[in-house]
Structure 1
Amino acid sequence: MNQVEVCFSPLLFEEFAKPNSIVVVVDVFRATSAIVTALHYGAKSFIPVSTIEEARELGKQGFLAGGERNGEVVEGFEFGNSPFSYMNDRIKGREIALTTTNGTRAINIAAKSADTVLIGSFLNLQALADYIQEQGKDVVVFCSGWKNRFNMEDSLFAGALTNLLLTSGKFKSDCDSANASSLVYRTGRKNLMSFLESCSHRKRLGHLNLEKDVEYCLQRDITDVIPVLKDGKLVRLN
């Protein structure tokens, strides 16, 4: 039976990395939610980069470019990591270079060792779980966190995905962080907005008048789009 594990911080990922496993990277607020949304609305691909300079350089080469730091759009960029900014015709068929505070960094860390990197969010949770159940591989849910620290929203997603995989009967977990995240999700799942009221990043986004982003990112199963990393680009899974 395959294992599901949860990594709470990029600093810990080396302890979880192993060949032939699926790594699901999540940054609920907001990078992975934005990536899922943009591909749903017709974007061709994302190139996740770790630095602002890399994103700017790709922008000069004709890519659309997004940059976010500390919840705000980086000066000089048209896009940040708000899902709403990608809900338009301009992105259709386009490749987008994106750098964010946490999510794109985690994606690039995972890419160094994982055979398969998928992008997770509450928006595509069930589709993601259904796909993973058919692959016959161990799974690591990689929480991007906040600047290497634990955060609650990514851990809630990790718990939601862990629950779905365990109840499928195809997975088990001997991982304390997976079991802890599952417990946290079962505690808060009836009202995620309320459960996250004291969450640091929800407060941070609230101070930036981005509460609508928070509400959107906590919606479940509004798309079946699953982004997968191929040759350095995030594209829709066939």
Structure 2
Amino acid sequence: MNIDLIISADYVDDSKVKDKTAVVIDMLRATSVITTAINNGCSKVIPVVTVEEALKISNNKRCDFILGGERNALKIEGFDCSNSPLEYKKENVYGKNIILTTTNGTKAINKSVKAKNILISALLNAKSVSDRVIDLGNDLVIVNAGTYGEFSIDDFICSGYLIDCIIKKEKDVKLSDIAKTCHYIYLNNKDIIGFIKNADHYKRIKKLNLEKDLDYCCRKDIIDVVPEYINGQIKDYRLFKGNENEKIV
């Protein structure tokens, strides 16, 4: 298995993901939201790039959807939820359809659509995602959502942990230079919060008094679901069997 890494959504193009498994990471906070919502029993998450697209999908069926997301880390006016995973509790999302739009994460997912498989990872479920990656047996490209098109420390260290989980189980692995660097940084900075506290994205979230989100998103392997994106929607991959062509609405 070859493993490569893309540093932000703005660097994704079809040639980099085609015929590979893509794992999208936006640990602060979109992929942590998606993983949490799926774990808490939502029917599906529909990731879209723009607020306008989210409103269009929910038009005339507003009661059928939870609108969630952020712009500049803040809740979007008129939406039900922000981009805090702590809002996506079981009592709020069980059996519901969620439309999510975020500054970085949902953009990264939608730019990866030419991949053979698209998995959603955070620290919360990295070990389970690594198992799924190995089972699929494709070359892997890890897609960091980044922050406003630029490199993000938090996604990078999360990717390093995912790589570590994979190579502990799969011996036939070849890392690109950037993937080697990512893994090396994780091995020497296993205190995740201690490492990412100087990240601009971390500082932005902390400034908004969202320390509980930060603490939660930095927990390793407390969830075992593996969200997968197929045909515009995200579910735990085990729930897609025989329903891959299901319509979004």
State the TM bucket, normalised to the shorter chain.
over 0.9
Once the two structures are superposed, residues 70-89 of structure 1 have per-residue CA deviations (whole angstroms, 9 ceiling, x without a partner) of 11101111112100110141
Q: C-alpha distance in 1, partners of 2:95/2:151?
A: 35
Give the aligned residue type for 1:110.
Answer: S
2:242 is matched with none
1:161 is matched with 162
| Unmatched runs of 5 consecutive residues or more in structure 2 | 239-249
Q: Does 1:73 align with 2:72?
A: no
Say if 2:35 and 2:122, in contact at 8 Å, map to a contact too: yes
1:141 is matched with 142
Q: C-alpha distance in 2, partners of 1:80/1:19?
A: 32
Count of aligned pairs: 235
The CA deviation at 1:15 is 7.4
Say if 2:66 and 2:98, in contact at 8 Å, map to a contact too: yes
| Unmatched runs of 5 consecutive residues or more in structure 1 | none
Percent identical pairs in the alignment equals 34
1:193-232 matches, within 5 Å, as: 193-232=193-232
1:43 is matched with 42
Once superposed, what is the RMSD of the aligned Cα atoms? 1.4
1:172–1:63 CA distance, 2 compared to 1 (3 A): same
2:233 is matched with 233
Spell out structure 1 runs of 4+ moving beyond 6 A: none
Q: C-alpha distance in 2, partners of 1:16/1:29?
A: 27
- Aligned partner of residue 17 in structure 1, secondary structure: helix
Q: Does 1:93 align with 2:86?
A: no
**TM-score relative to the length of structure 2:** 0.90
Q: C-alpha distance in 2, partners of 1:210/1:18?
A: 33
Say if 1:55 and 1:66, in contact at 8 Å, map to a contact too: no
- Aligned partner of residue 141 in structure 1, secondary structure: strand
Q: C-alpha distance in 1, partners of 2:125/2:171?
A: 20
The CA deviation at 1:11 is 2.7
2:51 is matched with 52
**TM-score relative to the length of structure 1:** 0.94
- Aligned partner of residue 156 in structure 1, secondary structure: helix
1:108 is matched with 110
